[in-house]
Amino acid sequence: MTTPSPAHVIGRIAVRDPQAWEAYRAQVPGSLEPFGGTVVMRAAGGTVLGGAFAGACAPHPDVVLLRFPDAASARAWFESPGYQALVPLRERAADVVLTLYPG
């Protein structure tokens, strides 16, 4: 029997309302715990090194990397009532693109 590979969710973020963003960020770790999710890293102010926006601030200059035991856990977190309750706050606070990378 094989063990599922960890899955990652990358969030690309452009904050519009810093106070609302901090309120959202403070609640995310609690939403991750029931699904085995952890915040691996957060970074702000990225600069594009290559591509269409080279030398400029990235359209989504902040990033977060989340790790889950597997893709099913990541999807369960995203679809959970606990996380979905945070979505309106997230949408008010920032433009966020969340992408799941299984395995």
pLDDT range class, residue 4, cuts 50, 70, 90: confident
pLDDT attached to residue 29: 95
Compute the mean pLDDT over every residue in the chain, rounded to the nearest whole number: 91
Alpha-carbon Rg for the chain, nearest whole angstrom, is: 15
What does the pLDDT look like over 35-76, one tens digit per residue?
A: 999 999 999 887 777 777 666 667 788 999 999 999 999 999
CA-to-CA distance for 60 and 46, rounded, in angstroms? Answer: 8
pLDDT attached to residue 88: 98
pLDDT attached to residue 46: 77
Give Cβ neighbours of residue 43 (< 8 Å, ≥ 6 apart): 62, 63
Q: How far, in Å, are 5, 48, 52, 67, 95 from residue 71 at the CA level?
A: 8, 28, 31, 9, 23
Q: What is the pTM of this model?
A: 0.88
User: What domains can be seen in the chain, in order of their start residue?
Assistant: 7-101 (3.30.70.100)
pLDDT attached to residue 53: 64
